[in-house]
Structure 1
Amino acid sequence: MLKPFGREIWIADGSAVSVAGFHYPTRMAVIRLSDGGLFVWSPIQLPDSLRVEVDALGDVRYLVCPNSLHHVFVDDWRRAYAGARLYAAPGLREKRKDIRFDGDLGDGAIAEWANDIDHVVVPGNLITTEVVFFHRSSGTVLFTDLIQQFPANAFSGWRAVVARLDLLVSPEGAVPRKFRLAFTSRRAARAALARILAWPAERVLMAHGTPVQEDGQAFIGRAFRWLTG
């Protein structure tokens, strides 16, 4: 189930989750830090087979929810890895008061993984505040919902019409139209994007979309051309 995506990073695809009748595939990433510990981004459902593969990579130390929408399976991981520290994106603590979080993802660096991973909070979106990550050794930028792409035949009926209008079935990953309209401050979003574009991105990973294996920085620039143009 785990597949190598680059140096010290693996990905796994999980079962779909339903939101208003739309079925969203799930994807997670596991990053092995320079000290050997594991950083788990956007945890998916945890079957025994996946747990065996993760345990073979190292010790799970950090569980990360990169926005307030990706939290469905995190409690299962919390129970399975009681010693791991759980980090919440802005807004998630208020949404999941039933879960004890150990830290928050803000503008400052997280010392535990700062040698390997950088992050940027993209503020001012009414749907969710997403935290975008950059894994240095693999050159991978990790987006959760800000960039999405579904196969052209993923939806049918009225949902296919909505998906097309929302840019979910674009030829390559794009920022959904609803997210574009939900930004209350494009100036703040552009400032965050400038920091993201400063990363020497080679690859781009999305929770919902075809991973990008090369020219990642150019891909991100195209996806956000509506914001910078």
Structure 2
Amino acid sequence: MTINRTLPRTFRVTQNSIIRPSNHNYFVLQPSSSRHHPKLISGKSHLTPANIKFSENISIYNGTIPRALPSTQARSASTLTMSSKLIPSNPSDVAVLRSVTPNVVTVSVPFARFGIIRVGGRGTIIRLTSGTLAVFSPVALTPETQAKITELGGNVGYIIAGDIEHHIFITEWAKAYPNAKIVGPKGLAEKRAKVQDDPKIGHELFAFEWSAANKSSNAVSEEFAADFEVEYVDAHPNKEVVLFYKPDRVLIEADLMFNLPAVEQYSRVPEAQKTGHGFLNKIFESINSTSGEAKGIKRFLWYVISNGTKDRPSFNTSVQRIASWDFDTIIPCHGETVVGGGKELFNKVFEWHLQGHK
């Protein structure tokens, strides 16, 4: 397969697609004992965790998976939801702290989706003009990160979930900074409330939620509104919260745009962890790279992501509003930070959405 091939309409490689049944077109990675090169197959089926297990050999599953799960399979699938599967065992040893500006610090860590696709993870700490700190899509709270928080003033006022997937460390940060307001997309608090067997995921109340009704609101507080513009991309499958930090002209986002490969996020891991599953990583990078003409990611965003909720016009409207902001730096949660030329790169990647057509 080449990236010129039309992709399935709904991309379902998030944790959500594995944990919950979904009657959608799919793009699923499934291990097997086959020694042949895997193929990328799309189709339509009810997806559940049944028979989805991960090992060294990878292929693509194509077929119908019954909704009813044998108890042993259900227990096995439930382990996929455990936050321990998503957290580096030694975050202090692998995290990279970087001052993007005097007021914006990133904490980058290795993260492989399903233990296979190396996308990396990144939290962003922003010091508001008031001196209060906001943490976007927090990652593990290491002693080094806590020291940086103290250096920046120590007053964490906002813990921001970047979308419905980026929330694992909310509880950890909320315990360390109990006066912080937790904010994020509507529906995330309910999603977390359903998790009963993971000590990492608590049931904290959200002080502010974005929804389709207030998707451009920055009314979290006066100090928040003074420094941030916000766009809630509810037409994105992961319900993205995108921030524009006006004082330093920085765009901060979670899954709206990847910028692979994740070089910085894997810069402190052993070489052995930077390889493996090369074929699958190469394919995924080809549709999530912003380099050159960026044809792969443009097709991926147009055919898959922006059509994931069947509301591409709304997606386009959100992208067009984001493009109206005067940013120069882009900090994504997955892949490389773009320092300088961020607006031009964004316009290139989202060209079709800005035009409203291919």
Cα-to-partner distance string for 1:201-224 (whole Å, 9 max, x where unaligned): 111111112111112211111111
- Secondary structure class of the residue paired with 1:2: strand
Given that residues 122 and 189 in structure 1 are in contact (C-alpha distance below 8 angstroms), is that contact kept between their aligned partners in structure 2? yes
Q: Percent identical across equivalent pairs? A: 22
RMSD over equivalenced CA pairs, Å: 2.3
Give the alignment of 1:182-221 within 5 angstroms. Answer: 182-221=308-347
The 1:203–1:65 alpha-carbon spacing in structure 2 relative to 1, beyond 3 Å, is same
Which of these residues, 208, 216, 224, is aligned with residue 103 of structure 1? 208
Which of these residues, 280, 284, 289, is aligned with residue 163 of structure 1? 284
More strand per residue: 1
Structure 1 CA distance for aligned equivalents of residues 167 and 136 of structure 2: 11
The 1:157–1:12 alpha-carbon spacing in structure 2 relative to 1, beyond 3 Å, is closer
Matched, 1:224 2:354: no
2:76 aligned partner: none
Structure 1 CA distance for aligned equivalents of residues 323 and 289 of structure 2: 24
Structure 2 CA distance for aligned equivalents of residues 182 and 154 of structure 1: 30
2:4 aligned partner: none
C-alpha displacement of 1:148:
0.6
C-alpha displacement of 1:18:
3.7
Matched, 1:122 2:122: no
Amino acid at match of 2:227: D
Structure 1 CA distance for aligned equivalents of residues 132 and 321 of structure 2: 26
The 1:41–1:164 alpha-carbon spacing in structure 2 relative to 1, beyond 3 Å, is closer
Structure 2 CA distance for aligned equivalents of residues 150 and 31 of structure 1: 23
2:243 aligned partner: 133
More helix per residue: 2
C-alpha displacement of 1:14:
2.4
The 1:24–1:191 alpha-carbon spacing in structure 2 relative to 1, beyond 3 Å, is same
Structure 2 CA distance for aligned equivalents of residues 15 and 100 of structure 1: 29
C-alpha displacement of 1:142:
0.9
Deviates more, 1:131-140 or 1:188-197: 188-197
1:43 aligned partner: 138
Given that residues 15 and 45 in structure 1 are in contact (C-alpha distance below 8 angstroms), is that contact kept between their aligned partners in structure 2? no
2:182 aligned partner: 86
**Structure number, greater radius of gyration:** 2
Deviates more, 1:98-107 or 1:54-63: 98-107
Given that residues 290 and 349 in structure 2 are in contact (C-alpha distance below 8 angstroms), is that contact kept between their aligned partners in structure 1? no
Structure 2 CA distance for aligned equivalents of residues 90 and 67 of structure 1: 9
Cα-to-partner distance string for 1:1-28 (whole Å, 9 max, x where unaligned): 4321124111111242543643431111
The 1:161–1:16 alpha-carbon spacing in structure 2 relative to 1, beyond 3 Å, is closer
C-alpha displacement of 1:68:
0.3
**5+ residue gaps in structure 2?**
1-95, 194-202, 263-273
Amino acid at match of 1:100: L
Give the alignment of 1:19-30 within 5 angstroms. Answer: 19=114, 21-30=116-125
Given that residues 261 and 336 in structure 2 are in contact (C-alpha distance below 8 angstroms), is that contact kept between their aligned partners in structure 1? no
Given that residues 140 and 202 in structure 1 are in contact (C-alpha distance below 8 angstroms), is that contact kept between their aligned partners in structure 2? yes
- Secondary structure class of the residue paired with 1:10: strand
Structure 2 CA distance for aligned equivalents of residues 148 and 200 of structure 1: 20
The 1:103–1:109 alpha-carbon spacing in structure 2 relative to 1, beyond 3 Å, is same
Deviates more, 1:13-22 or 1:132-141: 13-22
The 1:95–1:155 alpha-carbon spacing in structure 2 relative to 1, beyond 3 Å, is farther
Structure 2 CA distance for aligned equivalents of residues 135 and 170 of structure 1: 22
The 1:161–1:26 alpha-carbon spacing in structure 2 relative to 1, beyond 3 Å, is closer
Amino acid at match of 1:179: I
Q: TM-score, normalised by structure 2?
A: 0.58
The 1:3–1:99 alpha-carbon spacing in structure 2 relative to 1, beyond 3 Å, is same
Given that residues 28 and 41 in structure 1 are in contact (C-alpha distance below 8 angstroms), is that contact kept between their aligned partners in structure 2? yes
Cα-to-partner distance string for 1:107-146 (whole Å, 9 max, x where unaligned): 2222340111111111223x21101110011101112111
Structure 2 CA distance for aligned equivalents of residues 34 and 220 of structure 1: 26
Given that residues 290 and 345 in structure 2 are in contact (C-alpha distance below 8 angstroms), is that contact kept between their aligned partners in structure 1? no
Given that residues 155 and 163 in structure 1 are in contact (C-alpha distance below 8 angstroms), is that contact kept between their aligned partners in structure 2? no
1:10 aligned partner: 105
Given that residues 205 and 212 in structure 1 are in contact (C-alpha distance below 8 angstroms), is that contact kept between their aligned partners in structure 2? yes
**5+ residue gaps in structure 1?**
none
Structure 2 CA distance for aligned equivalents of residues 101 and 42 of structure 1: 14
